[in-house]
Structure 1
Amino acid sequence: MSIRHVSDADNEGWLLVKFSGSNAPDALPQNLRVEYIKTEGGRDYFKVIEGVHAGREGSVKQKEGGGSYLIEGDPKQPTAQVHFVIPSKKLWYQNNGEWVGPIDTMTDPNNMVPVGVHDIEIPDAPHKGGESYEDRSRFASTWFRIGHSGDRYLHTGSVSAGCVTMTDIPKWTDLYNYLIKRRKDDKSVGEIHVFATEAERP
């Protein structure tokens, strides 16, 4: 089995592909791991092995002049660790053994993200809610779902409807680059620990 990963083809973290049996394009996130099958007729064929599309087969047109958008090698790094303290509206993430932060972040006070430890999923699809922030972070439309059901996400922006929303928008690019290569398993990049008080955070 030849493992490859998705390149950042659109410069915003996504690659448009066509899945077998579908005429409409779908977007795969940067660094998603796939099994390379073959190259034929100017297209690379693959099978997705992680994320929401795991198990689906598809193809992507090669670059003009040749070359693949599916990069050889496996870039995955250890599980992401993110901390968020609700009342102080601050977020940290652990990189190379050190905590980066605090970063201004919020959740809806009337629909707060639950306290506890939750998985952070591999991105599912571009989110239109992030488009208006792409002038400050080109990856603003990439959101990471919190848990494996529902509609709470870790994302950047200025409005929260129960998500964990990083309001310091320019810093989203750094967090995105940290998260997108991380893996806990074939569904998640890592974990977010949500604390009710600052004193609870180790």
Structure 2
Amino acid sequence: MNQVIARARTNTTAGSVHPVVVTTKFTKSSDTSGWLKVQLEPSGKMTFLPEYVKVSVTKEDSRTHFMILEGEHKGKVASLKSENAANCLVSTSRGSGAKLIAKTLGRQRLASKPRHNEVLNQLIATLTFDGQSAMITLDSDVDFKESNPLSPYYEQVRHSQPLPKGTYRILTPVVAKRADFTSFYVTAPGGNPDLKYHTVWFPIEYAATQNSNFVHVGNLSEGCVTMYDLTKWNALYKYLISNRSDKEGKYVGTVTIE
């Protein structure tokens, strides 16, 4: 998508102007992490953007410069080496909002092979999305240490509980979660060697927990919408990340828990 953003003089002829055209693109990861490393300008600081962030390309030389149009770094200029930009800033389109429906089935004690056959009291549900369905867990009935600094219970030990039934908005991810939270689901016996994008966790908007619940992959849920079926995460990730439900790009869609 090309867009005229200004008119500028280019010579000394009085009244001579021409459109300055920028190109709208979307970010794409250079690997299977789901994150694109970019250089903020003029500071040179490196940061990461999720996929499908809208940007406008403003200058191309040895580096491609672009304005970030949404998200945490909205309004900032960033750059990539031009050979990387050719593959990582793409012309595409996004969906208008992902819709997930989780139908609760009940508690079941399950052993997770990737977690060394740990047995947990899972709250199992069936998640439907984009014409597919998969088994998820909504809660694993475990104690955990609150890690969200915004929570009044920060660094306290809490007991997990599922989200109440209802519909919640899913936020666009901002930062990667620690790889060691989920990397063993790729490498451990009983895991999925083809699992990708596992550090991308999608926050669920819920004021009562300061958005501490997520849509993510794994066999342990501290009240999150957790993709238990490791073979279905890649598809769920691609569906979520390729959607935005608002003009600002803040949300990817909704999840309804029944």
Deviations along 1:138-176, one digit per CA (max 9) or x if unpaired, are 111111111174221100012222211111112101111
**Which of residues 158, 161, 178 is equivalent to 2:222?**
161
Residue of structure 1 in register with 2:199 after alignment: 141
Residue among 47, 50, 60 paired with 2:80:
60
Amino acid aligned to 1:125: V
Assess, with a 3 A threshold, how the Cα gap between structure 1 residues 58 and 194 changes in structure 2: closer, same or farther: same
Residue number in structure 2 paired with 1:132: 184
1:4-51 deviation digits (Å, cap 9, x = unpaired):
0112212322210012354442111122211111113x2111122223
TM-score by length of 2: 0.66
User: Quick check: 1:139–1:173 contact (8 Å CA) kept in 2?
Assistant: yes
- Please identify the structure whose Cα radius of gyration is greater: 2
Q: CA deviation at 1:53?
A: 2.6
Contact (CA 8 Å) 1:131, 1:140: kept in 2 or not? yes
User: Does residue 1:101 correspond to 2:162, yes or no?
Assistant: no
**8 Å CA contact retained: 2:30, 2:87:** no
Q: 2:95 aligns with which of 71, 77, 81?
A: 77
Q: Partner of 2:221: helix, strand, or coil?
A: coil
Could you list the runs of 5+ residues in structure 1 that have no partner in the other structure? 196-202
Shift of 1:68: 4.8
**1:82, 1:21 → 2: CA distance?**
40
1:192 to 2:255 alignment: yes
Q: Determine if the alignment matches structure 1 residue 117 to structure 2 residue 159.
A: no
Deviation per CA, 1:166-187, whole angstroms, max 9, x where unpaired? 1111210111111111110111
Contact persistence 1:51–1:188 (CA under 8 A):
no
Instruction: Write the distance in 1 (CA, Å) between the matches of 2:134 and 2:48.
Output: 32
Cα RMSD, aligned residues only: 2.2
> Which fold has the larger relative contact order, with Cα–Cα distance below 8 Å and residues 6 or more apart in sequence?
1
Match in the other structure for 1:91: 126
Identity %: 26
Matched, 1:20 2:83: no
3-state SS, counterpart of residue 169 of structure 1: coil
CA distance in 2, matches of 1:190, 1:20: 31
Measure, in 2, the Cα distance between the counterparts of 1:169 and 1:146. Answer: 20
Cα distance change of structure 1 residues 168 and 43 upon mapping to structure 2, 3 Å threshold: same
What residue is the counterpart of 2:155 in the other structure?
none
Partner of 2:56: 35
Tell me what 2:234 maps to. Answer: 173
Aligned to 1:200: none
| Count of residue pairs the alignment pairs up | 189
